[in-house]
């Protein structure tokens, strides 16, 4: 499909180039054109070597059915990262303490305790109560961009929304929210397969600065608790009525995790969606047909977009890679794996598996039965998925209400990461002229 903009957003990758990258794939040495468009490489691996032995001895999985099988079997496949991350970050490193204590990189019982506490503050009613404030936030951002005639889809819009929402959940004062996005980018960036010394130092410094700030915030919240039905930090501090409370380290590191998980998923969902609509004009028209356009200065209702949001999540999964460790010898996809085998679960590949999705390389906003894996699956499925969907629906729907003729004014800048797929910058104009 031709691009409606005079520059390339997602470059094409020839079959031969994809085959060449797949044949020598090493997550620690990825070429720039892989970051720009990894999907032809994933397709090649699914067809020729769906359970691929990597140069470091780990295994790279690209089939939907294989990922689901691993997700389902938490007894065999561990999410605990102490074995993998200790040599990567070094004993005593702040990054090691964070990434081996957070909810996502742990097994029960810690995972069970923390998830239950977080979910208690993310009930359906609590999320519904966030909608009016979210609409006010989004409309304020749209007002500011309208006054300028444009801006940046990421910096001025997509990234600003989850920072405010997560800041509200944790009760972070507005005056203190400035560093949150940069801390999150640095800490999650340190999960990439290969780190420079500068990235590692920035990640460690960000964990230390963030936890130092949270220590002060927790002390204040102990003195003046919030409403545990809405305030996640208060809920984590107080713990379950008859259950075990979190240690101070568990508390601090899972507050860091809440920001990181909520920030990255939602920023990329919104940014990826609005950029993809520039490449897929028919999809944009489909969406506009469901969104009631608002007159200037008026707040129209936001369309309910469940299928559309899930298709954006499938098509450009914010989190492209997950990891597990085999606790015993096992077989995945017909390949025998030894005890201790490290597995990379390629969510981006599984979400474009033709065995699961018809015409998977197309952005089809009317797609039915869309059981994508963008939020994971099983006991580690994203605890905040309903909140992320709400943020996506309000942000994307109201953006299109206000700016139906928006256009990118320069090629967007990708984040340059294999694990998380999104943009750092995407300048746009509110008008097609």
- CATH number, domain at 353? 1.10.630.10
Confidence check: pLDDT of 135 > 90: yes
Closest CA relative to residue 374, chosen from 249, 238, 269, 255? 269
pTM given for the model: 0.93
Cβ contacts of 84-92, under 8 Å, gap ≥ 24? 84/323, 84/325, 84/342, 88/195, 89/190, 89/200, 89/204
Query: Which residues constitute the domain of residue 160?
Result: 15-429
Express each pLDDT in 337-368 by its tens digit: 999 999 999 999 999 999 999 999 999 999 99
Express each pLDDT in 362-401 by its tens digit: 999 999 989 999 999 999 999 889 999 999 999 999 999 9
Sheet with strand 407-408: strands edge to edge: 150-152, 427-429, 407-408
pLDDT on residue 291: 85
Express each pLDDT in 268-279 by its tens digit: 999 999 999 999
Q: Is residue 10 part of a domain?
A: no
Q: Is residue 362 part of a domain?
A: yes
* Structural domains of the chain, count: 1
pLDDT on residue 228: 87
Q: Is residue 3 part of a domain?
A: no
Q: Is residue 309 part of a domain?
A: yes
Q: Is residue 4 part of a domain?
A: no
Regarding predicted confidence, which is higher, 298 or 15?
Answer: 15
- Cα 136 to Cα 156: distance, rounded to the nearest angstrom: 15
DSSP single-letter state for residue 301: P
pLDDT on residue 295: 42
């Amino acid at each position: 499909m031709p691009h409606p903009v005079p520059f390339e957003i997602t470059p094409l990758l020839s079959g031969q180039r994809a085959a060449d990258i797949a044949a020598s794939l090493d997550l620690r040495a990825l070429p720039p054109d892989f970051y720009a468009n990894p999907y032809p490489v994933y397709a090649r691996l699914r067809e020729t070597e769906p359970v691929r032995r990597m140069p470091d001895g780990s295994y790279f999985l690209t089939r939907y059915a294989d990922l689901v099988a691993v997700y389902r079997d938490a007894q065999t496949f561990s999410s605990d990262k102490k074995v993998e991350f200790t040599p990567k970050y070094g004993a005593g490193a702040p990054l090691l303490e964070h990434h081996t204590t957070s909810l996502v990189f742990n097994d029960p019982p810690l995972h069970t305790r923390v998830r239950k506490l977080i979910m208690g503050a993310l009930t359906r009613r609590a999320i519904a109560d966030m909608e009016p404030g979210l609409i006010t936030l989004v409309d304020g951002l749209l007002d500011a961009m309208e006054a300028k005639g444009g801006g940046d889809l990421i910096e001025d819009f997509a990234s600003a929304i989850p920072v405010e929402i997560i800041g509200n959940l944790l009760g972070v004062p507005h005056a203190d929210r400035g560093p949150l996005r940069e801390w999150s980018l640095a800490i999650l960036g340190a999960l990439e397969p290969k780190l420079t010394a500068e990235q590692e130092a920035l990640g460690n410094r960000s964990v230390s600065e963030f936890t130092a700030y949270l220590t002060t915030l927790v002390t204040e919240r102990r003195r003046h608790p919030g409403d545990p039905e809405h305030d996640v930090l208060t809920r984590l501090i107080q713990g379950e009525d008859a259950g075990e409370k979190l240690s101070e380290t568990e508390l601090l590191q899972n507050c860091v995790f809440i920001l990181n998980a909520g920030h990255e998923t939602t920023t990329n969902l919104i940014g990826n969606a609005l950029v993809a609509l520039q490449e897929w004009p028919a999809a944009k028209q489909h969406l506009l047909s469901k969104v009631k356009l608002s007159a200037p200065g008026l707040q129209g209702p936001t369309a309910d977009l469940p299928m559309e949001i899930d298709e954006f999540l499938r098509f450009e999964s914010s989190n492209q890679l997950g990891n597990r460790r085999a606790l015993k010898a096992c077989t995945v996809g017909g390949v025998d794996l030894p005890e201790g085998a490290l597995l990379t679960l390629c969510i981006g590949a599984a979400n474009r598996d033709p065995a699961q999705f018809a015409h998977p390389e197309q952005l089809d906003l009317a797609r039915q039965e869309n059981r994508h894996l963008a939020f994971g699956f099983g006991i580690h499925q994203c605890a905040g998925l309903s909140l992320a969907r709400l943020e996506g629906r309000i942000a994307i729907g109201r953006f299109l209400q206000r700016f139906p003729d928006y256009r990118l004014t320069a090629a967007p800048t990708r984040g340059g990461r294999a694990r998380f797929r999104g943009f750092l910058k995407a300048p746009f104009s509110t008008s097609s002229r």
